[in-house]
Amino acid sequence: MSERFSRRKMITTGIAAAAGASGLAVAAHLADRYGLIPPDNSGIYGVGETMTYAAQRLLMSRHSLAREFTRSDISKIAPVKGPPPEDETYQRLLAGGFADWRLKIDGLVARPSFFSLADLKRLPAESHVYHQACEEGWSFIAEWIGVRLSYVLNLVGVLPQAKYVVFFGFDTNFFAADKQSIKGKWNSLDMSDAWHPQALLAYGMNGQDLPTPHGAPVRLRVPRQLGGKSTKYLSLITVTDTVKGIGRGFGAGGTERGFSWYAGI
């Protein structure tokens, strides 16, 4: 091996190593400061998950908008995953046309509140036609009608130390006294997604009331993440500074079953 060649190789390797090391240092600093670490950051898969979450968070301005389609783009077929909850309370509320349904919002808020379906419908309504993809691979376009999540969060007054908004549907045992034993399809958003202008508490779909299999009476809709993030059959919203105490602490019931918490992918 000639002197010249090995020196060049050393310089190239040196530059690459220096760029890699300084890149890592900068990334670690930013992650520390701006909360770019997802709840499921542990283990070898946590490395990839953290990089994806942090990279996408850095790329996205808080308000980068999902594409809005027109009503003529609405898919004829809107598949659903999984049946409605078998929960007794849910079945009773469903039979009663959700007249007795209340959405509870608690946690790090100034005014913990209950909202009826009529309460939510009295708030400023919005209609969005956007795309939703399931992590399985299928997708559809639909119109969603509801109130902005941020509008409701402002009504209850989110405290400054809030880091996550946690969503519980009737297909979770959210009423469990011990929060660590909560199981099911609960999920959580970071504040960036919770304040996003297209994040809706949707009670209508394609010009009608939200159909039962799509999450009646009210579901979350976040268009910048895969469909599983849009929790259905909502019953309780908790604002918190940590998801550590809920379930196994990964930020979502699905994550306990092996699905990554962040679903902007």
Question: Which residues would be at the binding site for another protein (CB under 8 A)?
Answer: 1-2, 5, 8-9, 12-13, 15-16, 20, 44-45, 47-49, 51-52, 56, 59-61, 64-67, 69, 73, 75-77, 79, 131, 133-141, 223-226, 254, 257-260, 264-265
Given the complex with another protein, which of 81 and 179 has the nearer CB atom? 81
Q: How many helices (H) and strands (E) does the chain have?
A: 7, 10
Given the complex with another protein, which of 64 and 180 has the nearer CB atom? 64
CB of 7 to another protein, least distance (A): 12
CB of 87 to another protein, least distance (A): 23
Could you write out the three-class secondary structure of 52-90? Answer: HHHHHHHHCCCCCCCCCCCHHHCCCCCCCCCCCCCCHHH
Residue 209, classed as helix, strand or coil, is strand
Find out whether 192 and 139 touch, Cβ atoms under 8 Å: no
Given the complex with another protein, which of 53 and 98 has the nearer CB atom? 53
Given the complex with another protein, which of 79 and 97 has the nearer CB atom? 79
Q: Residue 39: which of 265, 261, 264, 263 has the closest Cα?
A: 261
Given the complex with another protein, which of 19 and 118 has the nearer CB atom? 19
CA distance 13 to 159: 48
Residue 239, classed as helix, strand or coil, is strand
- In this structure, the chain runs to a length of 265
Given the complex with another protein, which of 73 and 119 has the nearer CB atom? 73
CB of 215 to another protein, least distance (A): 17
- At 80, list the tokens: 């659903």
Q: What are phi and psi of 257, to 5 degrees?
A: -100, 15
CA distance 255 to 55: 20
Find out whether 241 and 162 touch, Cβ atoms under 8 Å: yes
Given the complex with another protein, which of 107 and 254 has the nearer CB atom? 254
